Structure formats: structure tokens, C-alpha cells
Amino acid sequence: MYPSTVTTNWEQLADLALGGHQLTHQQALSILQSDDDQLLPLLQAVFRVRRHYYGKRVKLNMIINAKSGLCPEDCGYCSQSIVSTAPVQKYSLLDKETLLAGAREAMNRQAGTYCIVASGRRPSGRELEQVIEAVQEIRATMPLKICACLGLLNDEQARQLATAGVHRYNHNLNTSRDHYDNITTTHSYEQREQTVEHVKQSGMSPCSGFIAGMGETDEQLVELAFALRELDADSIPVNFLNPIAGTPLAGQGHTPAMRGLRILALLRLICPTKEIRVAGGRELNLRTLQPLALYAANSIFVGDYLTTPGQEATLDYQMIEDLGFEIEQNALAGDVPPVTPRP
């Protein structure tokens, strides 16, 4: 175990990341276990990497909770799971007009990516058809990048979504392989990896991240970061547990804000070229330090999450402006067509 106070040459780690070199396990641990006094020098070094690949642009994303509750899985963090007693709305997949209205709202909020998220183990044939119909109309009428998150996929389902025009598919690893059974038992870490591989083979852009603060160790977080690098996910959402009353992890507590920033720095240095997205729980856990997150991350959600509220979008716009950053205006620029298979 690293000592609790560690001073590392952060600029050297940034040079390694910019040079395409992988950090060692020990170097990665030093980020998480560094002293609070080292946070600003760490973020300064990490910002060099973020700026090299993404400048001062910030990608905005918006979620629509397209199907709520009714999930047979036992994920300990989720208010929609079968083991949760949290009072959440429960409804089947929204109709096409509601999904289209959500896309228009995403544009109103200046979000370049519209995320259609549905609870459940995997989509039924009918649900897949409903999403595909909405996606086709959105693609024909709005300049939005579309991300879907519908649960486990097989190879054919992934191909159908790619052909319909879905740009990106999200399926998070959520936690490290050796911590996974402590969080979920109704499906496996390997099944999640397999879904991401189906996504990659279909030509959709793979999106996969995790939830910090679920009782994992520093070593497990480092292991997870390296797993995401190996998985080659294009976008990595970093969520911070919102311990919702009625879920098994309700008593877990919050991630301290400075630790949250170190976690984001870890991901930027291990996956330097990737979109690092500050996702669910940022408002609750990062609190007044939220602006500093954008020195490592280059993407955030605007508006509410699935069953928990986000902050007012105007506060996000103000945060970006006050930092001297700018909202990315064209999320589709330079995209590879989604039907192009990966080797």
C-alpha cells in the first residue's frame, strides 16, 4: 500500500500520457493516494493532457429516462432494481413522439448528444423496434449524436441499432472485476464486457464507465481504469454514487470532493485521448469544486439523470463560461459513420 501522503512529479506523468505511454500501477495509485495539497499541481498537469486533445471545449449530453423501473436486476446502487424500495416512477418504454420531444429539448439545452436510456436486463424485440423508429426520425431531422443505453445486447441487436443510425452505445462496467459480485449478482462482469465488444464490432462507438464510491479500494479503481483502457471505450462516464434511500448501498456515504477530482485525474492520465464525462452524482459529491472537474474531464450531462435531479442547465453554462471554456457546437464533426465495422 502506498503511504497516505505521496508527492509525485505530475508533469512527468502528463508527459508519459502525451507520449502514448501507459502509467505503471504504482504511478496510478500515487494519483489516488496523493495529499490534498498536491491536488492543484496534479490538475495543472492533467489539464495539459485534456487541452492537447480537447482544447477548452466541453461536450454536453442529455439523458431521457425512456423506461423507468420494472427491472429484474439486483444492482445495489440502482433505485430501479428489483431489490430497491425507493419510490421511483415505473413506466414502459416511452412512445416515439415523447422521444422526439426529448431530442428537441436536448437541442434547446445545447446538448450535442442525446442519450436514450431504458431500464431492464436487455431490450425486447418490440422495444428495440420502438427505439429504432425514433432514432431514424431524429437522424433525419436533427443534428444530434444519439447514444442508446438499453442493457445487454447480442450481436444482432447491436447491428440493428448501428444500421438505424445510433452513434454510440453505453454499457458501463460499473466496478472492477473482483468487486463486481458485491454490487450485482444477476448478471456478470463478463456479460458487460461482451456487450461492449458487440457494440464495437457493430461499428457503434463504445461508451463504458463506472460508479465510484461503492466500497471499492484504490487498487480496484486503478484496475478498473486499466480495464477501460484495454476495452478501448471512446467515452468514459465517471459517476459518483448517489446513495439513494431504499437501495442496498443507501448507507455507503459520499465521495469526498477532492477524491472525486483525483479519480477524474486518474482517468485522464490512463485514458488520455478519450472523452471523460462527469456523470451522475457530480453535483452531490463534487459540490462547490465542480468547475475543477473540467480541468480533467471534457464532457458533462445537463439536466436531470434517471431518477435523481441534476442542477439547472444555466448553472452549467455559467460554470463553463467562467472557466473560459466553450460548449462544443457540433458533436458530429469528424464522426465515423456508425455502420462502419471495427476490425
Q: Which residues belong to the annotated binding site? A: 71, 75, 78, 115, 147, 207, 277
CA–CA dist 34, 258 (Å, integer)? 10
Q: Is 271 designated active site? A: no
The amino acid at 224 = L
- Torsion, Cα 303 305 306 309, to 10 degrees, reads -80
Q: Which member of 168, 262, 277, 282 is catalytic?
A: 277
CA–CA dist 177, 191 (Å, integer)? 11
Q: Are strands 210-212 and 57-67 parallel, antiparallel or unpaired?
A: unpaired
Q: Could you give the angle at which helices 257-270 and 218-231 cross, rounded to 10 degrees?
A: 30
- How far CA 135 is from CA of 9, 113, 116, 129, 140, in Å, comes to 47, 12, 9, 10, 9
Q: Which member of 78, 109, 192, 282 is catalytic?
A: 78
Q: Output the known binding site for [2Fe-2S] cluster.
A: 115, 147, 207, 277
Q: Which member of 168, 207, 259, 262 is catalytic?
A: 207
Q: Which member of 71, 149, 168, 268 is catalytic?
A: 71
Enumerate the β-bridge partners of residue 145. Answer: 113
Q: Is 147 designated active site? A: yes
Enumerate the β-bridge partners of residue 239. Answer: 211
Q: Is 149 designated active site? A: no
Q: Output the known binding site for [4Fe-4S] cluster.
A: 71, 75, 78
Q: Which member of 50, 109, 139, 147 is catalytic?
A: 147
| Active-site residue set | 71, 75, 78, 115, 147, 207, 277
